[in-house]
Amino acid sequence: MPDRWLGIAVSGDKIVMIDAEVPKTGPLILQSDTGFRLQKGARPAAYTVLHQNVSDYVRENKIDRVIIKESAASQGGMGKSHLLAAELRGVVMAAAAGVTDTMCIAKGNISRTFGERKVDEYLKDESFWAAEISGRLRALSREAAMLLLAARDK
């Protein structure tokens, strides 16, 4: 049976999670395309809830590996929203790493090491996703799924 992996992309106040069986070759077998939004109110309390949600999901679904999209430097500088997203990414990393094998991959690294194109070109390619994913994947979740494809090649 293939391993079960979770790809997570963090942005702003939400996370997108792709849960898939990852065979050695062939399309990923999508189990879930979901996510969590940070609760309103005090951030420390909201981080606690999100941490618990992620660790519970990983544990209850017997996830073998979590791959998280790494922070990237902003071309416009480090604004508050960029820093808050980085905080949230840290919460997600800690939650996943407390349960299973967890790694981070930078989008720029994927562009250099996966295939012949840049990540953004793959994200727009409908035929690529039809061939690489077995199941219904939302377009906004492709970046999280790309993490799984890139990690499988490592």
Domains and CATH numbers, the chain: 3-152 (3.30.420.10)
pLDDT at 76: 65
Beta bridge partners of 16: 9, 35
Mean pLDDT in residue range 56-66:
98
Q: Is the pLDDT of residue 74 over 90?
A: no
Q: What is the pTM of this model?
A: 0.94
pLDDT at 5: 98
CA distance 26 to 7: 17
CA distance 127 to 147: 18
pLDDT at 60: 98
Written as one letter, the residue type at 67 is: I
**What does the pLDDT look like over 84-110, one tens digit per residue?**
889 999 999 999 999 999 999 998 889
pLDDT at 75: 64
Which of the two residues, 82 and 127, has the higher pLDDT score? 127
pLDDT at 62: 98
Interhelix angle 80-97/43-60, nearest 10 degrees: 40
52 CB burial (10 A radius; 0-12, 13-18, 19+): exposed
CA distance 107 to 10: 12
Token pair for residue 113?
């090491």
| pLDDT confidence bin for 27, thresholds 50/70/90 | very high
